[in-house]
Amino acid sequence: MAEPQFDVISPYNSIDGLDSFRGIWHSHLAGDNLSPDDVHEICRAGRQDFVGVTDHDNRYSILPWSADDWYNAQDEDFLVILGFEATHPIGHVTCLGLGPDETGIDPEAARRNRDEKMELDAGYGGFLRRAYEGGAFLALNHPHRWRGEAEALLSEPDFDLVHALEIYNGNQVGKATAQGYTIDLLDECLTLGGELWVAANPDCHSWDDARSDGPFNGYSVVFAPDLSEDAIIESLKAGRFYASTGLEVDAIRVTPDRLEVSATECDRIAFFGEGGALLEEVEGPEAAYHFTGEERYVRAELEAASGSAPGPDDFPRMAWLQPVGVISAT
């Protein structure tokens, strides 16, 4: 059999031997009367192994809980990662692993910009580079305003340092699906050569999982050597995770000539390429896509016929794998 005349690049090539951990990393506590211990209890009941606490930069100056309070709420089976949501000019950006003061953001200036309409320098200039070089994981949240404008987005200063695009945001889906589900924008970016991981999050502003802005309608399953902040953040940055609204993936395997995936509760597996073109669709719980070398990238999307994500009642249980790069040798 002839060797493939292309190279396949995938973060899943390095997940053998790693454990999997489920978690959310875009969540909010400001305005909610919950303690860190309450969040721990709710997340463990929701089968989450970790939580990223990412309140808005413009709320940090009035938050009642200290970093010590959060870290004291974790144990060997549950991890808390602190971060924040930056009100950056390109949109809201999750900065996981660093606080505002570690990235040059002034929370009080950000608050006064928003609440008092005062034009103060909050430190967003150079923020993405400072956060990236500081080791943070960066994601552009609910980016619907850029739909159809991927070229402009990719050319924004330092946007190439952003790791992921949040294609599912439960809070926004609960308001209007077109605001919260932006897989088309991801395909636009990938087609233009952007390198972005696919992400799903609840963006919870309530911790009642019956509400559309509840905590568990979107999450990540991360492949990492252990449940530590460094390990989870490094795996997120490297794309060693998949995004889900409630559908669990049993196996992912990438070889030099195909992408294999299986999920017991899945009823449809679709493979997409450049421009969001449907390359192949399979009914059932498992599928394998054989690369041709012409694709540039391939991403897999899985869907269950029954059930929906907690919260937004009409959004199905889905899972999205990270795009696989296909680079022709010719």
The β-bridge relationship of strands 79-88 and 50-53 is: parallel
SS3 content of the chain, % helix, strand, coil (to 5): 25, 35, 40
How far is it, in rounded angstroms, from Cα 329 to Cα 166? 31
Percent of the chain with pLDDT over 70: 97
How far is it, in rounded angstroms, from Cα 322 to Cα 15? 13
pLDDT tier, 4 (very low <50, low <70, confident <90, very high otherwise): confident
pLDDT tier, 230 (very low <50, low <70, confident <90, very high otherwise): very high
pLDDT tier, 238 (very low <50, low <70, confident <90, very high otherwise): very high
Quote the distance between the C-alpha of residue 284 and its chain's center: 26
Report, at the CATH architecture level, how domain 6-328 is classified: Alpha-Beta Barrel (3.20)
Q: Which residue has the tokens 């929906």?
A: 308
**What does the domain layout of the chain look like in residue ranges?**
6-328
Measured in residues, the chain has a length of: 330
Longest dimension (CA), the chain: 68
Per-residue pLDDT, 100: 94
Q: Which residues of 131-165 are buried (b: 16+ CB within 10 A; e: fewer)?
A: bbeeebbbbbbbbbebeeebeebbebebbeebbbb
The three-state (H, E, C) secondary structure of 91-128, written as one string: EEEEEECCCHHHCCCCHHHHHHHHHCCCCCCCCCCCHH
SS3 state of residue 62: helix
How far is it, in rounded angstroms, from Cα 248 to Cα 3? 33
How far is it, in rounded angstroms, from Cα 167 to Cα 312? 15
Q: Order of strands, edge to edge, in the sheet holding 251-254? A: 251-254, 258-262, 286-290
Evaluate if residue 32 carries a pLDDT over 80: no
Which residue type sits at 167?
I
Lowest-pLDDT range, 115-119, 153-157, 194-198?
115-119
Per-residue pLDDT, 163: 98
Interval 135-162 mean pLDDT: 98
CA distances for 297 relative to 8, 243, 274, angstroms = 9, 18, 7
Interval 194-207 mean pLDDT: 95
How far is it, in rounded angstroms, from Cα 302 to Cα 286? 9
CA distances for 176 relative to 141, 160, 222, angstroms = 15, 28, 28
Q: Whole-structure pTM over 0.85, yes or no?
A: yes
